[in-house]
Amino acid sequence: MKLFIKIMVLLIMFILPFVIPAPVSAIDDPSSTPAVENIGGFKMLIGSGDVLIFGEYNIPYADDKIPPMPASSTYIFRLLDDSGNELGRTVPHVFFDYGYNKGAFSFYFSTGDNLTFGESYKIRISQNPAYFDTPKSYDYVMSPTSWTTAETQEANRTALTIAVIATAQRLEAEYTAYDIVESGLSGTVLSSPTGETYFRNVIYGIQVMAPSLFLLQMLPYDIEEREYSVNTTYEERHTGTWVQTDVEATASQFGLTAQAIMAMIFALPVCLGFIITSAKKFHKTEPGFLVSALVILMVYMMGWMPAAIFASIYQIMGIYIAYVWFYARG
C-alpha cells in the first residue's frame, strides 16, 4: 500500500506541470504607436454587393524586441461602425518579422453581410489582454477618399490589383531579403511562392478578386449550354466568332471569297495529303479518294465550299465510280 501511494505521488508530481498552465509573461509595448495606412475600400469583386477593405499596418518593434509570441496571438484588428459595434475582425498574418512591424490586412464582407459602402468606419488595433499588463487600443478612421469610385466589377478588380502591387512593392523595400513581386508577360505580378503565398493569406479569395496579380491566372469557364434548333446549320455556328473573323480577314488579303480561300488552303491540301499518303502506303489511290469525299462533305457543311463546286466534284466522283464499276472491269 505504501508503495502504491508513493507511485501515485510521483505520477501526480510528474503530470501537474503539464496540466496546470504556466503563467503568461507580459510583453513590452511597441516602440512607437501602431498605425494603419494606405486603406482602400472595394466592391463587387466577387458578388454584386460584397465589400473588401484592404490596407497596411505597422506594429513597430526593434529586431531585438520582437515578442516570442506571434502577432496573430497578441494583436487583433477590428472594424467598428460609428456606434462602436464590431462588424468584423482579423489578425496579422505571420510571415515577415513574426507578423510584427509592417504588413497587410483585410476585411471581406459578402453580399449577405450588407456592409454599407463608403462609410467612415473605424479600424482598431487592439492588444490581447492575455499578453499585456495594460492592453491598449489604437484607432484609425477611414477617410471617405479611401473608397474606390469604380462602378464596375472589372474596374474594382483593376483598382485592387494596383493597390496590392503598390503594397507588395513597399513591403519588398522594407524586407529586402524577400522577392515579393516579379515581372510577367502582362506586367508586374506577385512573385511565386513568396508574394502569392503572403497575399493569399492576407486576402482570402484574392486569386478570384484580382486574377491578373498572378502569373498563372484562374479564369472562370464558360459553361453556359448553347441550344441549337433543328434549322441551325453548321455554317451558322461560327458566325460572329473568331473563326469567321479570321477566315474573312484571310480572304480579304488574297482578294477572294471566304468559301474560295477555305477550299484552297484547307480542303484541297487535306484531300491531296490523303490521296498521296494512300498511293504511297497502299499503292492505290481509292482509300484516299474515299476519305477526301468525307472531307469535302464536311467542308461544304461548314460553308467553306461553294455549292456549285461541291456538286461538280461529287458529279465527277460519281462518273469515276461508274467508269470503274462498269467499264474498267471489262
Each residue's pLDDT, cut to its tens digit, for the chain (330 residues) gives: 555 555 554 555 555 455 444 445 678 999 999 999 999 999 999 988 899 999 999 999 999 999 999 999 999 999 999 889 999 999 999 999 999 999 999 999 998 898 999 899 999 999 999 999 999 999 999 998 999 999 999 999 999 999 999 999 999 999 999 999 998 777 899 999 999 999 999 999 999 999 999 887 555 556 666 665 555 566 666 777 777 788 778 878 777 777 777 777 777 888 888 888 888 888 887 788 788 888 888 887 777 777 777 788 778 877 877 887 777 665
153, three cell numbers: 466589377
Q: Are 65 and 35 in contact (CB under 8 A)?
A: no
Q: Are 132 and 143 in contact (CB under 8 A)?
A: no
Q: Which residue has the cell 469515276?
A: 320
Give the torsion sign (CA, 38, 44, 46, 52): positive
Select from 45, 155, 165, 59 the least CA-distant residue to 108: 45
- Domain spans, the chain: 35-213, 235-328
Supply the pLDDT for residue 252: 81
Provide the strand spans (E) within the chain.
35-43, 51-59, 75-80, 86-90, 101-109, 122-127, 137-141, 181-184, 187-190
Supply the pLDDT for residue 16: 46
Sort residue 255 into left (φ over 0), alpha (ψ -120 to 50) or beta: left
Select from 293, 287, 291, 235 the least CA-distant residue to 262: 235
Q: Are 96 and 178 in contact (CB under 8 A)?
A: yes
At the topology level of CATH, where does 35-213 sit? Answer: Immunoglobulin-like (2.60.40)
